[in-house]
Homo-oligomer: A and B are copies of this chain.
């Protein structure tokens, strides 16, 4: 996570300053904006907005399968990852698009000093996969779904099934609602279908413990993300067989055990 990564080596160059909404120091700052946000899938923008600050936009989840692409990404410093774009998390490839050449050069220098460079095998595989996907999207002669349309349909089906289970839970748990928006990539109004479901149990329950103790579902509780324990984060990107098992087990949760 960003706080852990930032604090780990106790650099004299920077300190983790906590939630941007509470930041009131009159010092140079870097604000990290994760949009769509992990874990709640919401669309975010900078909140500090003062002179002397820089923003890093983490756009890991800004892909058509997860959210409507409402505008071209055009921030000063943007981070992307192969992991969320295509699911190749194990390749460990990400990329940045940065407007300021001086900052870009510093980022390259950091890669050089910390690891000399990124594995060529990983680069080759990522470049090939991304190339094939991009060619397919550009080529309008291709019949059938392109990669992102396929991903969007799959995510949409999964979210549909999950919402159905949520509605039948008699208020034991609920899911966030997202605004339908116009997606410039697909040319349609589309829904958000985030990579994580931000599940909320009814008040008084510890959602993470409830799911673990009643149903052996491993999730990551709200306190890990700075909110209360009625929330927990559930992955929506498991394999089909696991996802079906998740639905089955969630449907059986009665909310009678409170693992607090």
A92: chain B residues within 8 A (beta carbon) = 115-120
Contact A91 B113 (CB under 8 A): no
Interface residues on A, range: 20 to 34
Nearest to A90 among chain B residues (CB) is B120
Query: Which candidate, A4-12, A46-54, A96-104, A216-224, is the interface stretch facing chain B?
Result: A4-12
Copies in the complex: 2
A91: chain B residues within 8 A (beta carbon) = 119-121
Is A23 located at the chain interface by the 8 A CB criterion? no
Is A227 located at the chain interface by the 8 A CB criterion? no
Is A256 located at the chain interface by the 8 A CB criterion? no
Is A16 located at the chain interface by the 8 A CB criterion? no
Contact A93 B113 (CB under 8 A): no
Contact of A10 among B11, B93, B110, B114 (CB under 8 A): B11
**Nearest Cβ on chain B to A220's Cβ, whole angstroms:** 15
Complex formed: what's the CA distance from A10 to B12 in Å?
5
Is A153 located at the chain interface by the 8 A CB criterion? no
> Across chains A and B, which 3 residue pairs bring their CB atoms closest together, nearest first?
A90-B120, A119-B122, A121-B121
